[in-house]
Amino acid sequence: KISTFVGRLTTIDKIFRWIKQSDEPRTFLYGKGGSGKTTIAYQIANTLPSHGASVRISDSEPIDNVIFVSAKQRMIETISGHEIAFVGLDFLSERELYEAILTLGNWTAKSLSDIDITQLKEEMKEFFNLTANVVVIDDIDTLTTQGIEAGFDFIYDLLWKAKRRSKVMYTLRNAPTQSLSNAIEVLGLS
């Protein structure tokens, strides 16, 4: 239950206010490694489906899908403090990100790996035109720090032009230079 998520209620409140009240379609949850960004983002994504009827995107749009995808490859094991492999890896490229979103959104029964990136982007466009979504894209800086295209501009453009409203929340370690005004910092617990 989210109300027992000790020490993070202010951050969670900011995220819910962004989902419910802001016209901005994306936000960035950022903070040092081990600060709890993924845990907070996952908890939000896990809580929304059971409260979807009472939470509406920008106070108007009912939520059709809540999708959590991760590019995280390593995580800090809390007991020992050591880095270990993360088992929830969903994507390692722009293409795999789009495939994961469409697959988890139950968009199509056809194989997405058989279509080219242009067709895949058209599928994404239709998906966001016809459904209202909250998408959490965890650890996006796994791609950006390696110079791999992460679809920021494409997804942002989709969100603004779509017929239905959707929200995308990215988690990353460093403050996002492209949108500091739309970022929420997660401070480490002391």
pLDDT of residue 27: 96
User: What confidence tier does 61 reach under pLDDT thresholds 50, 70, 90?
Assistant: confident
What are 83-138's pLDDT values in tens digits?
Answer: 655 556 689 999 999 999 999 999 987 889 899 999 999 999 999 999 999 999 99
Kindly report which listed range (14-18, 50-54, 75-79, 161-165) carries the lowest average pLDDT score.
75-79
What are 27-57's pLDDT values in tens digits?
Answer: 999 998 878 898 999 999 998 988 756 788 9
Q: Which residue has the higher pLDDT, 22 or 72?
A: 22
Cα separation, 190 vs 113, in Å, equals 45
| Token couple for 167 | 């929200």
Does the pLDDT of residue 160 top 60, yes or no? yes
pTM of the model: 0.88
Does the pLDDT of residue 2 top 60, yes or no? no
- To the nearest whole number, what is the mean pLDDT of the chain? 87
From residue 66, how far is each of 71, 173, 175, 181 by CA, in Å? Answer: 17, 23, 24, 24
Cβ(135)–Cβ(67) below 8 Å: yes
Where helices occur in 105-147 by DSSP H, the ranges are 117-130, 141-144
From residue 90, how far is each of 50, 126, 141 by CA, in Å? Answer: 23, 22, 14
Does the pLDDT of residue 1 top 50, yes or no? no
pLDDT of residue 75: 54
